[in-house]
Structure 1
Amino acid sequence: MDIIHEVEAILGYGDTCNHCLGRFFGKRSFGLTNEERGRALRIARELAENEPHHEPEPESCWICGGEFSRIDAWAAMVAEAVRGIEFETFLIGTKVPPLVTESEEMVWSDLSLHDPEPLKAEMNREVGKAVSVLTGKTADLKRPDIVAILDLAEGTVEVQVNPVFFTGRYLKYERGIPQTHWDCRSCRGAGCEQCNFTGKQYADSVEELIGRPVIEAFDAENAVLHGAGREDIDARMLGSGRPFVMEVEAPRKRSVDLAALEEEINRTAVGRVAVHLAGWADRKMVQSLKSDKGHKKYRILVEIDGSATPDEFRAALDQLKGVTIRQRTPLRVSHRRADKVRERQVLDIECTGTQDGRYWVEVVGEAGLYIKELVSGDSGRTQPSLAQILGRTASVVSLDVVLVKTANEYGE
């Protein structure tokens, strides 16, 4: 079927606007809009059939119902919907009624058309160009700051504000604070007498202590902390701090001064948590941080049940140095982690002093090494362990993380 007969067949379905007519051949030729292509095809067909020229009313189009005559109106709705939101780049998306999609796909199939462009694609492009003119902002198909969704059936615009990410390191000086928010175990966040109707298991977390100033600075809905591992709730995070990426959800502001934000976080969380913010990040950095298998250094205070001379204690530690430890998921976390055996290496371990009959120990281990169980043995679930080697009960009295290095920092 030649192109004139294809045009005639398309028009046989009903009144078709130039936009929609051109879209059926949207991937043919270059340098024309679909409207220009449709008008040219219509005129060519009329010349071939010796018919007078006829421009259809846009609203009579049996496919789009005149949506392409309302491009400027849609653009104005988008501009109004994003008022008060700071952004530099945007993307337009369109929800097309199923009947419209079925209608155009029926024509593609019936006439075996090979070069059509979907209505959604043209709406996205044309409204996007109009929004760019109205706002002075740039369309970005890959990483837009915001996405405006046009709902053709409802005649509404929904705005999705994409998150902002920044990275840094945090220190935790106070024991008893979890890394992230925990819902109350009894009510699962709903609020009950046990949690004083807060919905939280713990009053504060590192995530919230950092996140509250972040939410205010970015005028955001929420702030989610992604850490390079996590310390136990009763452990401090000292030294140079733990790497993290903060995900700021639905921010209405984006150009925040990170130096000023760092100062505000450290002021409001003084004595509990501190941060050093390194710069902006993205979602790929979150994935990299989560998958990083760097090493960590711990300082622990170990208590032995019974007597053990310093020489005996150091000799036991030497038997753990460089050894690969087999650890079944500890009993204390078995309710929230898969029950399996993990193998992690003790890279270095040494006694650095004593205090009131207890021993200070520094341990460098692979990410994921359970330090408390390395000492106690966890009823045989961790092998070998310090308690097993000594033949005595051993436990960690206090634990501090003093160094977290990513694999990249180790040159791995």
Structure 2
Amino acid sequence: MEVLDKALEILRAYPLCDSCLGRQFAQLGFALENWERGRAIKTLVHMKLVSEYRSGADVLNDLVKLAKTHQPTRRFLSTVGVKAEEEKCYICGGLLADVEKYAEKAAEALRGVEFETFEVGSSLPRDILEREGEVVKRFLITTGESIKHEINRRIGRELLRRLPGKKVEKLRPNVVVKIDFTTGDVSVLKNPVLLEGIYLKLSRRTSQAKKFGGVKATLLEKLQYVRDIFGGVEHVIHAGGREDADARMLGTGRPVVVEVKQPARYRADVPPLVDSDVVFKPIGYVNREEVRRIKEKAKTDIKLYRALVLSERPLTAEELSKVSELSRRTVVQFTPRRIKRLSPKKKRVRMVYDIHARLVSPHVFELYVRCQGGLYVKEFIHGDGGRTTPSVAEILNAQLDVLELDVLAVE
């Protein structure tokens, strides 16, 4: 049998424990642990060699090599007057004999954390990995698995036994138990909670995250209660775009994900928040990919704005009707002067789909702009000294100032 022949070749060169030998053939056969597979292979090799030895074949040296890591073979050799010494496994040095013991330390490290899913990760001494690589390369092993994979699986299985109701999750576990086999230390990496919701901003003195000027509150501050519910040490927000601090976010609201770092629990009832500044409605848990999708989608979302605009010179209804020329127009904008310190030469191209105006008084008009996400709406209105073109100010040949700005819908 090819497996037995290859196993004997390996054992002639290296003493391997049952797990490390069986791992070289991990992809052959199912529902077997590597130590079971390795023990079975050694047993069959033992039977083959003993039969050949009794038939007069010169296999004593092979029996001695096998006996280094196989007790039945040592017992047989003792009956024929040959003493064979036991040796440590060349690859793991005996580590895999009781690797499950680390599950106890892992379970202790997880005490006090309310989680549902976990994964096990490990860090091994370099010499173990180098020795494993040496064996794999020398014998061109294509049917095996890595020692780290075996260790993580075995400890994970033992943790499942000790922590009923928990599940192993490969892609996005709540927690990752990390075991350093160089130091013996066990640590727990807590992945953040990502809670999606929508928010309305009712105040013109509230920003998303930073306080400046006349800002009296931030959405980030308001959502601290979410962090407290999950017992986290810090929280950040990821919004699908943003509005200026003095602009209200109305209508159906804007999507936002609250990221709670180092949480003490991963499931909780989060009530909505309603106050005079902000409304937040939780929707559900998401993953990191959904956060990226929300941010990318904000660049192409269609948004409806309402602006109250002051004109330096009086306007007539007939003059104001000229703004309809800006419907279905492409707008080119260089970074606004108010934020140009961030990226002074960056150019942005966005689409204006519809625009309508209503005269309130000779110097004041109401403007409704339906446009592609990412348009600097204030600059589209007043022109920003020519840094935005075309603009409402350019069409009306008037100096304009935006008195109020609201986001009415995110489509």
**TM-score, normalised relative to structure 2:** 0.85
Question: Deviation at 1:231?
Answer: 0.1
Residue in 1 that maps onto 2:77: none
Equivalent residue for 1:273, pick from 252, 273, 278:
278
Specify which of 208, 218, 221 is matched with residue 208 of structure 1. 221
- The one-letter code sitting in structure 2 at the alignment partner of 1:218 is F
Quickly say closer, same or farther: Cα 1:7–1:345, change in 2 above 3 A.
closer
Matched, 1:159 2:185: no
- Mapping of residues 57-76 of structure 1, within 5 Å: 60-76=88-104
Q: Mean alpha-carbon deviation: is it higher for 322-331 or for 133-142?
A: 322-331
Does 1:252 find its partner at 2:260? no
Look up the match of 2:80: none
* Partner-residue secondary structure (3-state), 1:37: helix
Structure 1 counterpart of 2:22: 22
Report the alpha carbon displacement of residue 15 of structure 1 after superposing the two structures with TM.
3.7
SS of alignment partner, residue 333 of structure 1: coil
Residues 38 and 168 of structure 1: is their aligned pair in 2 closer, same or farther, counting only changes over 3 Å?
same
Query: Against the structure 1 CA distance between its residues 152 and 366, is the aligned structure 2 distance closer, same or farther, given a 3 Å change threshold?
Result: same
* Alpha-carbon shift at residue 155 of structure 1 (Å): 0.8
Q: Secondary structure at the match of 1:247?
A: strand
1:299, CA displacement in angstroms?
1.6
1:387: how far off?
1.4
The structural deviation recorded for 1:356 is: 8.2
Q: Which moved more, 1:57-66 or 1:13-22?
A: 57-66
1:205 CA displacement: 2.1
Q: CA deviation at 1:12?
A: 4.2
Alignment of 1:44-59 (within 5 A): 44-50=44-50, 51=63, 54=71
Distance 1:220 1:282, change over 3 A: same
Q: Secondary structure at the match of 2:356?
A: strand
**Separation in 2, partners of 1:27, 1:305:** 79
Q: State whether structure 2 residue 105 is matched by structure 1 residue 93.
A: no
Q: 1:98: how far off?
A: 1.5
The percentage of aligned residue pairs carrying the same residue is: 35
Tell me the SS of whatever aligns to 1:65. coil
Q: Counterparts of 1:25 and 1:58 in 2: how far apart (Å)?
A: 23
1:381-396 aligned at under 5 Å gives the runs: 381-396=387-402
Query: Is the counterpart of residue 283 in structure 1 residue 311 in structure 2?
Result: no
Q: After superposition, give the CA deviation of every residue in 1:271-312 in whole Å (9 maximum; x if it has no partner).
A: 121112223323232122112111111121211122222331
SS at match of 1:241: strand
SS, match of residue 384 in structure 2: coil
Matching of residue 339 in structure 1 with residue 345 in structure 2? yes
CA deviations 1:10-44 (Å, max 9, x no partner) are 33455422111111222222232110111122222
Q: Which of 170, 182, 195 matches 1:141?
A: 170
1:296 aligned partner: 303
Q: Is the 8 A contact 1:58 1:66 kept in 2?
A: no
C-alpha offsets along residues 204-246 of structure 1, whole Å, 9 cap, x if unaligned? 4212211x10110001122221212100122121223212222
Distance in 2, matches of 1:328 and 1:402, equals 25
Task: Provide the C-alpha distance between the structure 2 equivalents of 1:11 and 1:223, rounded to a whole number of angstroms.
Answer: 55
Q: What amino acid does structure 2 have at the position aligned with 1:256?
A: A
Q: Corresponding residue for 2:236?
A: 224
Structure 2 runs not aligned, ≥5 long: 51-62, 75-84
Cα deviation, residue 164, structure 1: 2.3
For structure 1, which segment, 124-133 or 277-286, has the greater mean C-alpha deviation from structure 2 after superposition? 277-286
Secondary structure, in 3 states, of the residue corresponding to 1:106? helix
Question: Any idea what the Cα deviations from partners look like across 1:161-180, whole Å, max 9, x if unmatched?
Answer: 22222222111122243212
The alpha-carbon deviation at position 139 of structure 1 amounts to 1.3
The structure with more radius of gyration? 2
